[in-house]
Chain A
Amino acid sequence: MASQDITPVGKDSAKVSLLNDPKFRGYIFQAVAVLVIAGLVYWMVNNTIANLQRANLASGFGFLDGRSGFDISSSPYLAYSSDSTYLQALWVGILNTLTVAFAGIITATIIGFIIGIGRLSHNWLIRKICTVYVEVFRNIPPLLVIFFWYSGVLSVLPQARQSISLPFNTFLNNRGFFFPAPVFGEGAWLAGVGLLVGIAGTFFVRRWAYKRQMATGQQFPVGWTSLGLIVGLPVLALAIKGFPLSFDYPVLGAFNLKGGSQVGPEFMSLFLALSFYTAAFIAEIVRAGIRGVGKGQSEAAHALGLRAGPTTRLVVVPQAMRIIIPPLTSQYLNLTKNSSLAVAIGYPDLVAVGGTILNQTNRSIEVVTIWLVVYLSISVLTSLFMNWFNAKMALVER
C-alpha cells in the first residue's frame, strides 16, 4: 500500500486519511492508554477510600510517630526499645536489611569467584565438586536454603551452657556467635585519626608509585606499604595514648552469655544462606566472564614474558570484569531483595518489622508503600554505583 503512494513533491498533496496517519494514530493510542490507566487508578482510589471508610480505618503516615510497644531482637546500630517510635523501628529494619545484604554480597562474591574459577580448573575433582555445588544451589528455592541453614545451625550448635569456645574469647552456641566488644577509653579517637590518615596515605602512595612506574619502570611494593599504613598508624596512635582500649568479654549468665557483642543465629543462617545461594549464580557469571576472554589474550601475555599470576591479574581479569559486572549487579540486587525472606526465620529486617507494624496498626497501604520506596531506592542506588564502576572498567577507546 504505502509503496504505491508515490506522491509528487508537495506539502499537502498526500491525501492520506487521518486514521491512517501513523503520527495521529500514535496520539490517539496514547491518549486512550492514559485515559484507561487514569480511569483505572481513579476507580481503585475510589474503592480504596470507600473500603477504608467502611472499615473505619484511619490513614496517613502520622502513626509513625507513635510508640511501637514491641522489642526487636537485633539492633546493632540504634538504641531501640519498646518506647521508641514506629519510625525508629523501621530504621532498625532498614539497617538490618542493609547489614545482611552488604555482608552477604561480600561473601557471595568471594565464594562465587572461588567456585567459578574452580569450575574452569584442570583438576577433574575440583571441577566436579564445583559443578555439583552450582547445580544444587541454583535449583533450590532460596527460601528453602534459608530454612536448611536455620534448622541446620540450630540443630548442630549446642545449648548456651555447653558453648563451643573459640580463640580470642569468642563463643558459639545456638543463641549465636559471641565475641568481645571493644570499649574505647579516653583518647581512643587518635586511632580513628590514624586510620583515616593511613587510608589517605595509601591513596597517595598508590598514585605516586603508579606515576613512578610509568616514568621509570621501577615497581614499588604498594600492597605492603598500604597494609603498614592502614594497620600500623592506628596501632601507633593507640600506643602513644597508652592503649586506652579494653574489651567487654562475654561471660555465662543464668540463661545465656552476657556482655560482649553477639550475632544471632537468624542473622547467621540468613547471611550464610544468601551467600551460598547467590554464590552459585555468581560462579556461573564468573565462569562465563573468564571464558569470554579470548585465549589469544593470555597467550600474548605469556609471549610478552608475563608469568601466570600477572597474566591473570593484569590481562585476563580486567577484561573478564567487563563481561562480569553487569550481570553481577543483577545478582547483588537479587541478594538484597532475597534478604526480605528474613521474615520467614524471624530476623528483624525491613519486611519483618514492617509486617509487625502492619499487624499492630492495620496500616497496610502505608507499610507496603514504605517497603516499595525503600527497596526501589536501594535498587536505584546500587545500580547507580555499579554503573559508575562499570563505566570506570569499560574499554577506553581512542
Chain B
Amino acid sequence: MAFDSCVNGRHIGPFFRGAWGAIRQYDFSSVGTMGINLKGQIVMKNLVLKGALAASALVLLANAASAATLDDVKKKGFLQCGVNTGLPGFASPNDKGEWSGFDVDYCRAVAAAVFGDPTKVKYTPLSAKDRLPALQSGEIDVLIRNTTWTLSRDEQGFDFTGVNYYDGQGFMINSKKLSGINSALQLSGASVCVQAGTTTELNLADYFKANKMEYNPVVFEKVEEVNAAYDSGRCDAYTTDQSGLYAYRLALTAPDDHIVLPEIISKEPLGPVVRQGDQQWADIIRWTHYALLTAEELGITKANVEELAKGDSPEVKRVLGQEAGTKLGTDLGLTNDWVVNIVKAVGNYGEIFDKNLGSGSPLKIARGINAQWSKGGLQYAMPIR
C-alpha cells in the first residue's frame, strides 16, 4: 500500500487553487458553479449557467406557490418540530425519550391546532449550527428552539412568527470561587465559555469591546460541551441567554455556588421560525402564539376551557370559535375549535410558562418582561376576531 497520492494529487492541487482564485475574483450570484468546481469536473460556460438559473427561477416560482406546509403536515399526519438538543425548561428529553419544556409545549400547541391532537408531533433535536439549515432543507416544518429574531436571519429566507420569550444575554459565575464579583463589568481578563456560531458569541465580543475589557473566549460547538467546560472550571464565566443560564445551572455539580449576574447585555427575542414564502403556515404558528396569550388574558385555562366554551361571554365564545357561522378557524386552514384544542392540550401561555420555567419548575424564573402587557410585561396578543 505505497503512498502515492501526491502523484495523482498533483492534478488536483493546482486545479483547486486555480478555481479558488477565479472564485475570489468573481462574486457569483449563484453558488451553483461551486458545485461543479467542488466535484472537480467540467466547469460550465457562464451562459449555460445563467440560462439554467433563469429556467430554474421559473420552475421555482411555481414551486414556491404550491409549497403548502400545512398540506404536507396533514398528509404526513404529524408535525416535525425542531427543538433544542437539551435545554431544561425549554426542550429536553427524559429517560424514556419523552420531550418536555416550554418550546416543546409550543410544538404540541401547533399540533393540537392542526390535528386536534397534541401527540401528533415529532421532535428533531438540533444544535445551534444545524437548526437553520434543517429548516431550510425542509427536514422540519417549524423551528421552535430559542432562536433569536434578527434582521439577517429574517432576510435569509426565514420568517419569525412572533416572540414567545423575551430573553437577554447574561453571565453566570461561580460566586464561591470569585466572591468579590457582582457585576459583569468586573469581568475584564476573564475566560468566558460560549457556544460557537450564536448571536451570543457576537454580543459577547461587542460587549467587552464597548466596555474596553479583555477576555479570553472558550468556544464550543455544543451546549453539553460548554456546560462541561464551565463546570470543570475551564472558564470564569458562562454567557448565554439568561433563561438558559438558569436552566444550565441546574445541571452543574454544585448549582448553589453559581450566580447569574444582573447585567443583560443584549436583546434576545426568541420565537418560532418558519420558511419564508408560506404565508398560511406562518399565520398558523403566529396565531397559535396569540391564542395562547389571549387565553391567559381571558382567564381560559386547561381546566375550564370546555366549560367556558359553553358559557356566554361573547369575547370568550368568539375566541373559542363558538360563535354561530364563525369562519376564523377555517379561514386559517384549521377547524373552528382550534383554540379549544390548543388550550385543552397545553393550557394557556401563563400555564406553560409556570409549568416549565416559572414557579412550578425547578428553574423558578420570574415572569418579568414576559408578563402580559396589562401587567407591565411585553406579551401582547393581537385580537382574535
Contacts and interface: CB of A to CB of B under 8 A. Distances in A.
Interface stretch (B71-79, B201-209, B332-340): B201-209
B301 to A, nearest CB: 40
A245 interface: no
Contact of B57 (A53, A64, A345, A355): A53
Given A256-B191, A383-B3, A359 B30 contact: no
Interface of B: 1-7, 9-10, 12-13, 16-17, 19-20, 23-24, 26-39, 41-42, 44, 49, 52-53, 56-57, 59-60, 63-64, 128-129, 132-133, 136-137, 155-157, 177-178, 186-191, 196-198, 201-202, 204-206, 209, 215-221, 225, 228-229, 232-234, 236, 275-277
A282 to B, nearest CB: 14
Contacts of A54: 60, 63-64, 157, 277
Interface residues of A, number: 74
User: Which 10 A-B pairs give the minimum distances between C-beta atoms?
Assistant: A359-B197, A383-B6, A59-B31, A55-B157, A60-B27, A56-B157, A82-B205, A380-B13, A62-B27, A380-B9
Contacts, number: 227
B217 A73 contact: yes
Contacts of A38: 41-42
Given A49-B52, A71-B205, A326-B3, A253 B196 contact: no
A138 B19 CA distance: 38
Given A55-B136, A256-B190, A70 B216 contact: no
A170 to B, nearest CB: 18
Nearest to B23: A61
A360 to B, nearest CB: 6
Contacts of B225: 344-346
Contact of A265 (B34, B36, B234): B234
Contacts of B4: 387
A112 B198 CA distance: 40
Nearest to B9: A380
B211 to A, nearest CB: 13
A272 interface: no
Contacts of A352: 196, 219, 221
Contacts of A14: none
Contacts of B220: 345-346
A326 B31 CA distance: 38
Nearest to B174: A159
Given A70-B202, A346-B218, A369-B38, A61 B12 contact: no
A231 interface: no
Interface string A48-74: 111111111101111010000111110
Given A56-B155, A265-B234, A364-B133, A358 B9 contact: no
Given A253-B189, A345-B225, A376-B13, A41 B233 contact: no
Contacts of B155: 56
A85 B3 CA distance: 38
A344 B229 CA distance: 12
B238 to A, nearest CB: 13
Contacts of B178: 255
Contacts of A265: 234
B202 A346 contact: no
A159 B233 contact: yes
A60 B133 CA distance: 18
21 contacts: A42-B44, A48-B30, A54-B277, A55-B275, A71-B215, A71-B217, A73-B217, A151-B228, A174-B233, A253-B189, A254-B188, A255-B187, A258-B189, A344-B221, A346-B219, A362-B132, A365-B35, A373-B16, A379-B9, A383-B5, A383-B6
Nearest to B54: A49
Residue of B29, B32, B137, B232 ringed by the most chain A CB atoms within 10 A: B32
Nearest to B198: A359
A119 interface: no
Nearest to B11: A380
Contacts of B190: 254-256
Contacts of A355: 129, 196-197, 221
A283 to B, nearest CB: 18
A315 B6 CA distance: 29
B17 A69 contact: no
Nearest to B232: A154
Interface string A325-366: 011011000000000000111101000100110111010111
Contacts of A379: 5, 9
Contact of B32 (A45, A174, A253, A345): A45
Contacts of B1: 327, 330
Contacts of A255: 178, 187, 189-191, 236
B13 A377 contact: yes
Contact of A49 (B53, B188, B234): B53
A343 B30 contact: no
A200 interface: no
B257 to A, nearest CB: 13
Contacts of A57: 31, 136, 156-157
A327 B56 CA distance: 48
